């Protein structure tokens, strides 16, 4: 009986739109200890400054989609604060690697930064723009950051 009842319960956001189960689980996930949701902001973790922009450019009525203007404004805001590492879900394009050309334009004008992204699979993991900005497409991969003892 409870399964039937819960299938009719809808949770609404402040704007009155129904949230889907993925969004509900995500909201709970973000509230956990040591979880940092990066979306147009920077954080410092163990002395490392991380910036990030969340989501995928697209129809805002779909989960985790962001209007292009908002995404690009968040990206510009973050790169102007000069993080050491930039985390993006969506990949910029690079020569023969598929990605978003507008993200590329912003990164090519920024100060050099190491960008870790995903969303679209590249055969080669690493790429670099002429300005020194390094792109690491880690789609379906794991990265482990290790601090040298001499840096402590």
69 vs 10, which has greater pLDDT?
A: 69
CB count in 10 Å sphere of residue 149: 6
The closest alpha carbon to 111, from 132, 135, 89, belongs to: 132
CA-based torsion, 82, 133, 118, 64: positive or negative: positive
Hey, is 150 helix, strand or coil?
Answer: helix
Q: What is the pLDDT of residues 99-142, one digit of tens each?
A: 899 999 999 999 989 999 887 777 888 899 999 999 998 877 77
pTM > 0.85: no
pLDDT (0 to 100) of residue 151: 55
> Could you tell me the two tokens for 123?
């055969």
CA distance 96 to 118: 16
The pairing of beta strand 65-66 with beta strand 126-128: unpaired
Q: What is the pLDDT of residues 6-51, one digit of tens each?
A: 333 334 444 445 555 566 677 787 788 888 888 899 999 888 899 9
**Could you tell me if residue 14 is left (phi over 0), alpha (psi between -120 and 50 degrees) or otherwise beta?**
alpha
Mean pLDDT for the stretch of residues 85-106? 90
Distant-in-sequence, close-in-space partners of 81: CB < 8 Å, separation ≥ 6: 42, 51
Residue 77 pLDDT exceeds 90: yes
Count of all residues that appear for the chain in the document: 152
CB count in 10 Å sphere of residue 84: 13
What are the chain's domains? 34-151 (3.60.21.10)
């Amino acid at each position: 009986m409870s399964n039937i009842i819960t299938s009719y319960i809808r949770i609404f956001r402040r704007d009155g739109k129904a949230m889907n189960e993925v969004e509900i689980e995500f909201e709970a996930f973000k509230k956990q200890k040591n979880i940092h949701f990066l979306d147009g902001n920077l954080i410092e973790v163990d002395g490392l400054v991380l910036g990030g922009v969340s989501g995928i450019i697209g129809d805002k009525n779909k989960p985790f989609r962001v209007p292009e203007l908002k995404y690009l404004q968040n990206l510009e805001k973050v790169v102007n604060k000069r993080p050491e590492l930039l985390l993006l879900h969506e990949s910029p394009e690079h020569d023969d690697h598929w990605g978003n050309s507008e993200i590329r334009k912003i990164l090519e004008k920024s100060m050099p930064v190491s960008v870790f992204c995903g969303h679209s699979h590249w055969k080669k993991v690493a790429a670099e723009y002429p300005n020194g900005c390094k792109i690491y497409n880690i789609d379906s991969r794991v990265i482990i950051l290790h601090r040298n003892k001499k840096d402590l």
